[in-house]
């Protein structure tokens, strides 16, 4: 067996395997994990591996016992604040010491002796990579017979960490032939050869721009990807063989998008992330469980591409949560009723239909139980393990043997969390500790399973050291800094000396820096024909900085550097360009004129047919009078912006709370006295907030909640006192009304508060707003469409709209025109509600006729209209497009070309 060994070679390398041709037998390229595993198999040392999460949990126990024995241990204060983060850091130090030869003994230095105390406290710690390597070294001292016969080294042996130099030395003692891979020969004379000679220590020579060396610069990474793709296409398919893309951030999404559009194979590299699809379920279910209940994690869970409950159920519950973010509102109860009905239909006819429905509902309800545990006090070990077990069980069932990497990673993380919770042995697990454990269990997550490498000659690697054989062309994508950070040593000189005396020799930080510098230079040496450095000025929204190798090459670039610089934006400016020896030609294409702003529209017959049995609402009438096209698209065609469900903002939530409390307190009949109303409203406030406005209980909304807690009862109290003094009694709250007002106008709506006295009924619309300005100006201008419509359906037989008013809860002010007899400050309006309603009806009739004739008008573009439309007493507002979500269709914001 032959191996090529490199410190980064557990990931992709170029070439993929040793030898020439299409394959190889009994030989491979391996990194530290691969080499350790191969030796363990040969020596019979394999064993189940423990996750890092479980090892940290075990180390928490060790530190706790060590502190109990020695309260003055240097990590005691940190452990008291955050035991998991402390254990995680110290376990990293411990593994580094173990790999360097430390056996857990005291060495006479206080901090190291505290570490030794933890090492021997409690039970045995599961082996990590460092322990496995030390065990291999111990076994190799007996010089066993190995199947491994040859080992070739990518990095120079003197740049390897001390521990791996020791392993390689032990392998040599066992008869394994160890040799260094030969250095790549310098490229022929040219810019590439001059760069490689400079990196080999020769004096810098002027660059001529012969195409063998290029510094490709671009304003954006997107433009850089386009240039790289054009260059590859210009070389033809045959030139892809021997071309390597060095992709340091391990994310080739932009490149692959450009490659696919040109028929090139995708590289399929993607960085690992713990936030991909189903992986979010584990942190979300724990976030849902904390008190005070936060609806946002539950909404996120329900809106996942693959939620842990049925899609129909998840959609209904998400819709209810968006309307009333809490677990006790009417919408939430209605959603569960609809889900139960749906399940009953699905299992209809089955012998055990009722039992099936009951089990399914019970299982789904467990996913939506929220606000169960106080975050500071934490949850019990049994509860935490039960939640993790539920996630693991669901992931395995959902995968059903399909091998989905996301579901398998989720099941693995949840299982590791369960094991770690048991290993930790804590009776109660605070929220912070569980957050730390979940983050550790998720680790780096997993790569995008939908991002797959396609077959082709093009190759890509992440680490510069992983190009271990010469390649014809190397494209160094993302040639920007700052690069990997080299952590400083946590040990001072006296501690290092004590460790060395005990046989533990830690590598100095400069060795890692030298190894990194070598890897950069080595990658440049591996190019035999062309080397292209790709540096965008912007990566996403961040300005980039120079790569470390670019700083090293600065003396070379000063001599003719402009000759090798190439701007990617040339592709957009010139009919043809030459990049790295290849001609990139711009090809003629058809000009496609983007959609232009369109003020008038010919309506399709299907849309016009929908008008026949249409019912309006006060809100849709407002849409119609502001912009007929918006009304047609949104309210007739039922188009929407497609936005994902979200939690209402605090103002909306407080308004919802005020409406619900008013609905419960202002019962039909004479108004109660102000004190009674205030007391009842205050008594209901907390329960209503918990049921339908739970986000207000979060710390960031404490100010809004405190303000609402005082203002809502006071506002309803004043409302009752004001209307009671004027002789009004409550007819009802949240009253649904549906009326046929003649001439085809049918309206349905829900009236916030309907009252009456000896002069007849009146409508009060409750509003929670920061300022009264908008509603006040609306009344003065005679544009209260909604108020006049509510008045019209309050008593359809009256012949005229009932008087109406806005009651501004936050300001405790009643706004109405002077003739209504309702306003605290009578407003002199241009027209009262009866005249406003007449104008609304006339506008509705005129615009409806235009729609029935197949004509649509986008009012934001001020279209030319028939004279009768211009003479309406109710034109569009000054800003009809301000709150419209349909502007992408009429293109009101687009520039005309």
When the pLDDT of each residue in the chain is averaged and rounded to a whole number, the result is: 92
Token pair of 328 as six digits: 């006790």
Chain centre distance of CA 183: 44
Query: How far apart are the C-alpha atoms of 198 and 205, rounded to whole Å?
Result: 8
User: Which ranges of the chain have pLDDT less than 50?
Assistant: 897
* Closest alpha carbon to 444 in 415, 407, 409: 409
pLDDT at 897: 47
827 phi, psi to nearest 5 deg:
-100, 135
CB-based contact 207:570 (threshold 8 Å): no
Longest dimension (CA), the chain: 110
Query: How far apart are the C-alpha atoms of 620 and 317, rounded to whole Å?
Result: 26
CB-based contact 869:620 (threshold 8 Å): no
* Closest alpha carbon to 747 in 655, 621, 838: 621
SS3 content of the chain, % helix, strand, coil (to 5): 50, 15, 35
Query: How far apart are the C-alpha atoms of 325 and 696, rounded to whole Å?
Result: 10
Range 601-610, long-range pairs (CB < 8 A, 24+ positions): 601/629, 601/855, 601/856, 601/857, 601/858, 601/890, 602/854, 602/855, 602/856, 603/632, 603/851, 603/854, 603/855, 603/856, 605/854, 607/632, 607/636, 607/637, 608/851, 608/852, 608/854, 610/636, 610/637
* Closest alpha carbon to 220 in 572, 584, 549, 582: 572
Range 191-271+452-585: architecture per CATH = 3-Layer(aba) Sandwich (3.40)
Query: How far apart are the C-alpha atoms of 513 and 521, rounded to whole Å?
Result: 13
Give the pLDDT confidence of 485-504 residue by residue, as tens digits: 888 999 999 999 999 999 99
pLDDT at 128: 95
Helix or strand holding residue 753 (H, E)? strand 746-757
Cβ partners under 8 Å of residue 689, min gap 6: 326, 657, 696, 697, 705
CB atoms under 10 Å from CB of 682, counted, come to 17
* Closest alpha carbon to 756 in 637, 668, 867: 668
Per residue in 352-389, is it b (16+ CB within 10 Å) or e — as a string?
Answer: eeeeebeebbeebeebbebbebebeebbebebbbebbe
pLDDT at 281: 96
Give the residue extent of every domain in the chain. 2-48+136-180, 52-126, 191-271+452-585, 277-442, 649-725
* DSSP secondary structure, 150-168, as one string: EEEESS-GGGS-HHHHHHH
Cβ partners under 8 Å of residue 216, min gap 6: 224, 227, 228, 532, 533, 534, 535, 566, 568, 579
Predicted TM-score of the model (pTM)? 0.88
pLDDT at 895: 57
- The residue length of the chain stands at 897
pLDDT at 896: 53
């Amino acid at each position: 067996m032959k191996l090529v060994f490199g410190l980064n070679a557990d990931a992709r390398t170029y070439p993929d395997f040793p030898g020439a041709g299409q394959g190889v037998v009994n030989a491979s390229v391996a990194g530290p994990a691969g080499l350790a595993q191969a030796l363990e198999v040969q020596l019979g040392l394999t064993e189940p591996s423990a996750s890092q999460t479980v090892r940290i949990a075990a180390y928490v126990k060790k530190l706790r016992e060590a502190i109990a024995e020695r309260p003055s241990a240097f990590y005691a204060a940190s452990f008291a604040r955050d035991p998991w983060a402390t254990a995680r850091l110290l376990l990293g130090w411990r593994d580094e010491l173990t790999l360097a030869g430390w056996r857990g003994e005291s060495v006479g230095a206080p901090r190291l002796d505290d570490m030794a105390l933890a090492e021997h406290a409690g039970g045995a710690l599961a082996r990590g990579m460092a322990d496995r390597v030390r065990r291999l070294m111990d076994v190799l001292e007996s010089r066993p017979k190995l199947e491994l016969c040859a080992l070739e080294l990518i990095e120079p042996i003197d740049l390897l960490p001390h521990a791996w130099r020791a392993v390689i030395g032990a392998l040599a003692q066992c008869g394994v032939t160890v040799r260094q891979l030969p250095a790549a020969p310098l490229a022929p004379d040219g810019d590439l050869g001059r760069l490689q000679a400079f990196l080999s220590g020769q004096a810098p020579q002027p660059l001529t721009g012969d195409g063998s060396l290029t510094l490709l610069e671009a304003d954006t990474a997107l433009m850089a990807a386009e240039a790289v793709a054009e260059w590859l296409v210009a070389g033809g398919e045959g030139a892809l063989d021997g071309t390597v893309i060095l992709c340091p951030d391990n994310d080739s999404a932009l490149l692959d998008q450009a490659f696919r559009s040109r028929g090139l194979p995708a590289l399929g590299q993607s960085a690992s992330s713990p936030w991909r699809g189903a992986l979010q379920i584990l942190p979300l279910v724990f976030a849902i469980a904390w008190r005070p209940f936060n609806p946002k994690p539950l909404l996120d869970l329900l809106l996942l591409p693959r939620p842990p409950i049925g899609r129909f159920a998840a959609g209904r519950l998400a819709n209810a949560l968006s309307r009333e973010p809490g677990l006790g509102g009417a919408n939430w109860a209605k959603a569960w009723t609809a889900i139960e009905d749906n399940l009953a239909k699905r299992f209809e006819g089955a012998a055990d239909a009722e039992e099936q429905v009951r089990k399914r509902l019970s299982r789904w309800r467990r996913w939506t139980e929220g606000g169960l545990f106080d975050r500071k006090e934490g949850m019990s070990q049994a509860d935490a393990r039960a939640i993790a077990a539920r996630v693991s069980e669901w992931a395995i069932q959902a995968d059903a043997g399909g091998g989905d990497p996301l579901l398998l990673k989720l099941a693995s993380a949840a299982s590791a969390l369960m094991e770690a919770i048991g290993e930790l042995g804590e009776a109660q697990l605070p929220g912070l500790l569980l957050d730390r454990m979940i983050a550790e269990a998720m680790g780096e997550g997993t790569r995008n399973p939908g991002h797959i490498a396609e077959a082709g000659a093009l190759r890509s690697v992440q680490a510069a050291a992983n190009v271990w054989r010469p390649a014809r062309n190397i494209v160094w994508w993302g040639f920007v800094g700052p690069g990997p950070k080299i952590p400083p040593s946590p040990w001072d000189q006296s501690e290092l000396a004590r460790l060395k005396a005990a046989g533990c020799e830690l590598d100095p930080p400069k060795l890692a820096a030298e190894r990194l510098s070598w890897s950069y230079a080595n990658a440049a040496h591996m190019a035999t024909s062309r080397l292209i450095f790709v540096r965008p000025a912007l990566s996403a929204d961040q300005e980039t900085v120079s790569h470390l190798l670019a700083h090293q090459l600065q003396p070379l670039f000063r001599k003719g550097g402009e000759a090798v610089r190439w701007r990617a934006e040339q592709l957009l400016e010139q009919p043809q360009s030459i990049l790295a020896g290849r001609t990139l030609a711009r090809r003629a294409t058809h000009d496609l004129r983007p959609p232009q702003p369109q003020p008038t529209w010919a309506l399709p017959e299907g849309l016009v047919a929908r008008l026949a049995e249409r019912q309006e609402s006060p809100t849709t009438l407002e849409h119609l009078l502001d912009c007929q096209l918006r009304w047609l698209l949104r309210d007739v065609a039922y188009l929407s912006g497609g936005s994902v469900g979200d939690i209402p903002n605090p103002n909306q939530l407080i308004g919802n709370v005020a409406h619900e409390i008013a609905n419960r307190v202002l019962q039909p009949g004479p108004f109660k006295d102000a004190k009674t109303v205030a007391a009842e409203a205050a008594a209901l406030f907390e329960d209503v907030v918990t049921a339908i406005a739970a986000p207000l209980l979060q710390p960031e909304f404490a100010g809004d909640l405190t303000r609402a807690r005082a203002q809502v009862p006071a506002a309803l109290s004043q409302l009752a006192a004001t209307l009671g003094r004027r002789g009004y009694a409550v007819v009802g709250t949240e009253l649904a009304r549906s009326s046929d007002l003649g001439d085809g106008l049918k309206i349905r709506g829900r009236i916030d508060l309907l009252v009456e006295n000896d002069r007849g009924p009146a409508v009060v619309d409750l509003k929670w707003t920061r300022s009264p300005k908008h509603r006040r100006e609306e009344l003065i201008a005679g544009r209260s469409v909604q108020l006049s419509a509510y008045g019209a359906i309050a008593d359809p037989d009256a012949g005229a709209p009932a008087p109406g008013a806005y009651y501004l809860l936050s300001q405790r002010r009643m706004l109405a025109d002077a003739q209504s007899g309702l306003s605290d400050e009578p407003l002199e309006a241009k027209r009262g509600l009866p005249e406003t309603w007449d104008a609304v009806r006339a506008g509705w009739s005129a615009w409806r006729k235009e729609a029935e004739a197949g004509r649509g008008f986008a009012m934001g573009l001020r279209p030319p209209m028939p004279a009768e439309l211009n003479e309406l007493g109710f034109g569009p507002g000054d800003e009809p497009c301000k709150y419209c979500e349909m502007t992408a269709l009429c293109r009101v914001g687009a520039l005309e070309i």
